[in-house]
Chain A
Amino acid sequence: MQTLIQAVGLVKRYGSRTVVDGLDLSIRQGEVLAIIGPNGAGKSSTLDMVLGLKKPDAGRVSYWREDPARYIGVQLQSTPFFPGFTALENMRMFAAFYGLRPTDSELLEHLGRCELGEAARTDAARLSGGQQKRLAIAMTLMHRPQLIFLDEPTAALDPRARREVRGLIRSLADSGTSVVFTSHDMEEVHKLASRIALICGGRIKASGTAEELLATHGADSLEELYIRLTDNAL
């Protein structure tokens, strides 16, 4: 399995506080990698460094190709839409950021695949929480990325919207797109992830499939494992 991104020995400090402390992380082709860990564990800083948003104080990030930005899609925790723009116009703007000029019918078809066809001409800010998340994900898929980062994609969504977003992630994985997502929902992580990396204290505390982790640590559930490993570290 090809390694898409390899981070070695990442360190990030804010003043005297070390948030990421010599962290190693690899992201492989075709996998659904869940990054979990308590708030303040270093997940966001790690992702920011991997995505080139922050410079590591030490360590190295290698990408599988020269121009990774063209092949990576990113959905942040917030749903960043242009104020006053419809779903279709937001899609058009973000497509343009990747040098694409899709026609309206292509955009509508793309929105339809994310079950947003009827909402295409609605102000993005007026969409429901689930629709906004799906639109944010749809925007990251416009340029057919090989790898997609989703930061807490189901946070603050109702059960129906969660199910819709999970379905979208599953269909992405089925189509061969590598997915990296963060979540605090262990059931969701168990259902979606082919590999899990638990970050705690700025380091990878455990990594593997859910079954490997449960067997290694003798836990009955991911939630139990999470609490046990993060308790020890705190």
Chain B
Amino acid sequence: MKPILLENLYIKVNKNNLNQKLRYNDGGNVHMDFHGATNTTIEFIINKYGIDTMNDIFKKVGNDVYKDIKDHIKKGNIKMLAKHWQHFFDRENADYNISINDEEIILTVNRCTAYEHVRKLVGNVSPNFCDQTIKTNEALAEDTPYEIKTEILGEAACRQTIRKRA
């Protein structure tokens, strides 16, 4: 018997198969230098107040700024998060793909343009730069039936998976 490839069970997300209305639906030009300011901020806060403070701020971003996405996750609509990923990774011209099935959604970022832009701007990216993703994701999933796992696959690459808690 042939093994079933996991890939076959997923649908690749494209612009036409995620019909969700985003709370923050930015358009126009993109100012990538803001990622440099995020990097500076992460270094400043961690050096002065410690990593727990930085993580608390990311937690507020996940809980408060992204309240709308979180509310959708609580109600079981995890496609809103996929739409958010799709919209903003497209805007930032990242190399990524999103796979979706009934149980989970997987975002694979092969080339994170935010990370690459900071490396170009300042040379050394903060070792905590990706905490903005890890900690904000954790807060988004907290007190919902879902978990979001963020795996760093290397420089400027990660996999983010949202699935129902076991």
Chain A complexes with chain B: no
- Residues on B close to A: CB < 8 A? none
- Residues on A close to B: CB < 8 A? none
